[in-house]
Amino acid sequence: MDRTRKTLLWIWLGTTVLAALVTGLAYRAITRVPDFAGRTDPAVVWNDPTALFREPGLLGTAGEMQVTEAVRACMEERGFTFRAPAVAESIYGILDPARDGYGIAAGGDTPRPVLGSDGPTPWEEAGYEEALYGAALGADGGPVGGCAAAGYQALTEAIATLENLPYTIEQLEADALADPVYAAAAEEWVACMAERGYTAASPEDLMADLAGRLSQLSGEAARALAEEERRIAADDFDCRRRTIDPATLEVAERLAPVFVERNRPQLEALIPPTGEPEGPPDLPEGLGSGDVQVTLLWTSKADLDLLVTDPAGERVYYRNPAVASGGTLDRDANFPCGTDDSSPAAENVFWPRGGAPAGTYLVVVAYTADCLGEGEQAFDLIVQVGGAVVHRDRHTVGVPGELYEFEFTVGAR
DSSP 238-305: HHHHHTHHHHHHHHHHHHHHHHHHHTHHHHHHHS--SSPPP------TT---SSEEEEEEE-SSSEEE
Residue 87 has pLDDT above 50, yes or no: no
Helix (H, G, I), strand (E, B) or coil at 145: coil
Q: The pTM is what? A: 0.53
Residue 24 has pLDDT above 90, yes or no: no
Beta-bridge partners for 221: none
Query: 410: burial class by Cβ within 10 Å (0-12, 13-18, 19+)?
Result: buried
pLDDT-above-90 percentage for the chain: 20
Residue 21 has pLDDT above 60, yes or no: no
Split at pLDDT 50, 70, 90, the class of 114 is very low
pLDDT-above-70 percentage for the chain: 73
CATH 2.60.40 boundaries in the chain: 292-410
pLDDT at site 112: 45
pLDDT at site 110: 45
pLDDT at site 211: 85
Residue 137 has pLDDT above 80, yes or no: no
Over the stretch 223-272, which tens digit does the pLDDT of each residue have? 888 888 888 888 998 998 899 988 888 888 888 888 988 888 899 888 88
Residue 386 near residue 400, CB atoms below 8 Å:
no
pLDDT at site 223: 82
CA distance 308 to 410: 13
Query: 136: burial class by Cβ within 10 Å (0-12, 13-18, 19+)?
Result: exposed
Over the stretch 148-203, which tens digit does the pLDDT of each residue have? 788 888 888 988 988 889 999 889 989 998 999 999 999 999 999 999 999 999 88
Alpha-carbon Rg for the chain in angstroms = 26
pLDDT at site 40: 66
Split at pLDDT 50, 70, 90, the class of 279 is low
Evaluate the omega torsion of the peptide bond into residue 97 and state whether it is cis, within 30 degrees of 0.
no
Over the stretch 328-358, which tens digit does the pLDDT of each residue have? 999 998 887 766 655 688 999 999 988 888 8
Helix (H, G, I), strand (E, B) or coil at 7: helix
pLDDT at site 54: 73
Total residue count of the chain as it appears in this document: 413
Instruction: Assign a CATH topology to domain 292-410.
Output: Immunoglobulin-like (2.60.40)
Evaluate the omega torsion of the peptide bond into residue 336 and state whether it is cis, within 30 degrees of 0.
yes
How many DSSP H helices and E strands does the chain contain?
A: 14, 9
* Of the listed ranges 68-72, 124-128, 355-359, 406-410, the one predicted with least confidence: 124-128
Split at pLDDT 50, 70, 90, the class of 313 is very high
pLDDT at site 51: 79
Stronger pLDDT, 25 or 390, i.e. the higher one: 390
* Average pLDDT for the chain: 76
Nearest to 294 by CA among 235, 232, 354, 362: 362
Residue 319 has pLDDT above 80, yes or no: yes
